[in-house]
Chain A
Amino acid sequence: MKREVVVTGIGAVTPLGTGARTLYERWRAGVSGIQDGLGACTEFDPTEHLSKKEARRADRFTQFAMVASDEALREAGWADELPYDAGRIGCIIGTGIGGIGTLEHGKQTLLEKGPKAVSPLAVPLMMGNAGAAGVAMRHRLRGHSYSILSACAAGAHSIGAATRMIQTGDADAVVAGGSEAALTPLSKAAFAALDALSDTGISRPFDAQRDGFVMGEGAGVLVLEDADRARERGATVLARIAGYGASSDAYHLTAPEKDGGGAIEAMKRALEDAGFGPQDVVYVNAHGTSTPLNDRAETIAIKHVLGSGVPVSSLKSSIGHLLGAAGAVEAVATILAMRDRVAPPTLNYEHPEEGLDLDYVPNEARTLDSNGAPAVALSNAFGFGGHNAVLCLEAL
């Protein structure tokens, strides 16, 4: 029998502020973290949380991950001492792009001042695994540690891989999540060149007038533990990672399969892994990017797997698309929503489109009825490259 994996701590840094509860409560209340077409973490000041040395040794994406991990470990009761042998605690922090701010700055220095002026910190800051390295060093986690790079599915893949790491016995606990800080000139220009970004600067998933995604930044980190060991030490369990499913479209570098094929497979696998049927799911946290293609394909996929009745909403309507952090931040918000039995809203939803006819929980949060049973949700994450990762989360 598989080991059961539970969540005992969560943390987030997002455009809605620092803190997992801040994220969830503001989203539930309909607050938008998007300003001037960007979901920036404007309130984030690394020196409030990190020493001068720590801050300058970390790209912004690593800083986000470290601060989110501090919150998650505090909640898990790990702040003073790790509860297990450090070698039995893993760390997986995904990202879509890594330290692109450092990369761009280094390239600028190279062009303006020549190769001898390029900082020796450039590589250790820009490398995609810097988030995992930073979090592992900060908390002295000495088990398996690495990063997953699967574009906008990286955060969800990291949580899925962490779950498997515990289930296979390679770790008793894993600090897992995703982080991104790509609001930089190059990446903004590059996503714009792909025609992926919203010209209006409004994130309106599933709405007929949606015109692309709004870029955001931030991090989400979770503490996952083997359930038996968590209970033995008297930890407070926030939720259970009931299931995980992943798939590849193997179809196109950027476009999802029009019939939602890969997404359907990942959702089905997550449900199968959890041992649940479609009727058990009370809420879907959609990938819901606000792009014409994703929202249509995802609607088809959800309808195929779960039918048309389940409430579906997108956090990206409030904070934009956090790329490699999205799956982790959305898992954090979904866990709190399920504990509250609330479906937070899809903001800016006004104009229905033919064929996009799910219950998108438009503009106002709604109380869910799980009939006294644990609340089960799916959280979808789909990335460029056709990578799909779906988490099945259960709050008791």
Chain B
Amino acid sequence: MATTISPEAVEKTVYDALPQFGVEESDISRDATFEQLDVDSLDLAELSQIIEDEYGVQLKGDDVGKIKTVGDAIDLVVNRAG
């Protein structure tokens, strides 16, 4: 588990993960909503698993309800880790 987590590192993790779910790389930005990217609850469950594996941060049901954009997800992970 990393001791310090930079927003850049989390961003890279998220940006690398989303194309695995079928998201076009060119569509990904901090402002893009998961709805726009067609990222649904199953995708977010997979993303949560990747994040927990990499940073030890757990995203659970309530968290997933709160995050609307790619940036929301990144910020939540960074804050939670901090």
* A positions within 8 Å CB-CB of B: 51-53, 56-57, 116-117, 119-121, 124
B45's nearest neighbour on chain A, judged by CB, is A120
Contact of A121 among B22, B38, B42, B52 (CB under 8 A): B42
With A51-B22, A56-B22 known to touch, is A120 a contact of B46 (CB < 8 Å)? yes
**Do B21 and A56 have beta carbons less than 8 Å apart?**
yes
Chain A residue at minimum C-beta to C-beta distance from B47: A120
Q: Given the complex, which residues of A lie within 8 Å of B45, measured CB to CB? A: 120
B69 within 8 A of A: no
Other-chain contact of B42, A51, A52, A57, A117 (Cβ < 8 Å) = A57
Please report the C-alpha to C-alpha distance between residue A68 and residue B55 in the assembled complex, in whole angstroms: 42
With an 8 A cutoff between CB atoms, is B54 at the interface? no
A118 — nearest CB in chain B belongs to which residue?
B49
B46–A53 touching, CB < 8 Å: no
> Do residues B49 and A53 form an inter-chain contact, with CB atoms below 8 A?
no
B16 at the interface (CB under 8 A from A): no
B53 touches A124 (CB 8 A): no
Chain A residue with the shortest CB-CB distance to B52 = A116
CB pair B53 A119 closer than 8 Å: no
Ordered by A's residue number, 8 sampled pairs between the chains whose C-beta atoms are within 8 Å are: A53-B38, A56-B21, A119-B46, A119-B49, A120-B42, A120-B45, A120-B49, A124-B42
Per the bound structure, the CA–CA distance linking A120 and B48 in Å amounts to: 10
In the complex, residue of chain A having the shortest beta-carbon distance to the beta carbon of B22: A53
Residues of B within 8 A of A120 (CB): 42, 45-46, 49
Considering only CB atoms, which chain B residue lies closest to A56 in the complex? B22
Given A116-B52, A117-B53, the answer on whether A52 and B22 have CB atoms closer than 8 Å is: yes
List residues of B (18-40) whose CB comes within 8 Å of A's CBs.
Answer: 20-22, 38
Closest to B39 in A: A53
Min CB–CB distance B57 → chain A (angstroms):
13
Q: Which residues of B contact A53 (CB under 8 A)?
A: 21-22, 38
A120 to B45, CA, bound (A): 6
Q: Are B53 and A116 in contact (CB under 8 A)?
A: yes
CA distance A343 to B21 in the complex (A): 46
> From A120, which residue of chain B is reached at the shortest CB distance?
B45
Complex Cα–Cα for A121 and B21 (A):
11
Contact partners of A52 in chain B: CB under 8 A: 22
CB distance from A126 to the nearest CB of B (A): 14
With the chains together, A82 CA to B61 CA distance in Å? Answer: 36
Residue of A nearest to B43 (CB): A53
Given A57-B42, A121-B42, A124-B42, A116 contacting B49 (CB threshold 8 A): yes
User: How far, in whole Å, are A321 and B45 apart by their CA atoms in the complex?
Assistant: 37
Q: Which of B22, B38, B53 has the most CB of A within 10 A?
A: B22
Closest to B44 in A: A120
Q: How far is the CB of B23 from chain A (nearest CB, A)?
A: 8
Q: Out of A51, A116, A121, which one reaches B46, CB within 8 Å?
A: A121
Chain B 1-30: CB-based contact to A (< 8 A → 1; otherwise 0): 000000000000000000011100000000
A194 vs chain B, min Cβ distance (A) = 36
- A121-B1 Cα distance, complex, nearest whole Å: 25
Instruction: Output the least CB separation between A375 and chain B (Å).
Output: 45
Question: Which chain B residues numbered 39 to 74 have a C-beta less than 8 Å away from chain A?
Answer: 42, 45-46, 49, 52-53
Pairs A-B, 6 closest by C-beta atoms: A53-B22, A120-B45, A52-B22, A120-B46, A120-B42, A51-B22
A117 CA to B49 CA, complexed, in Å = 7
Q: Hey, which chain A residues are within 8 Å of B46, CB to CB?
A: 119-121
B-side contacts of A117, CB under 8 Å:
49, 53
Q: 18 more A-B contacts (CB under 8 A) besides A53-B38, A57-B42, A120-B46? A: A52-B22, A53-B21, A53-B22, A56-B21, A56-B22, A116-B49, A116-B52, A116-B53, A117-B49, A117-B53, A119-B46, A119-B49, A120-B42, A120-B45, A120-B49, A121-B42, A121-B46, A124-B42
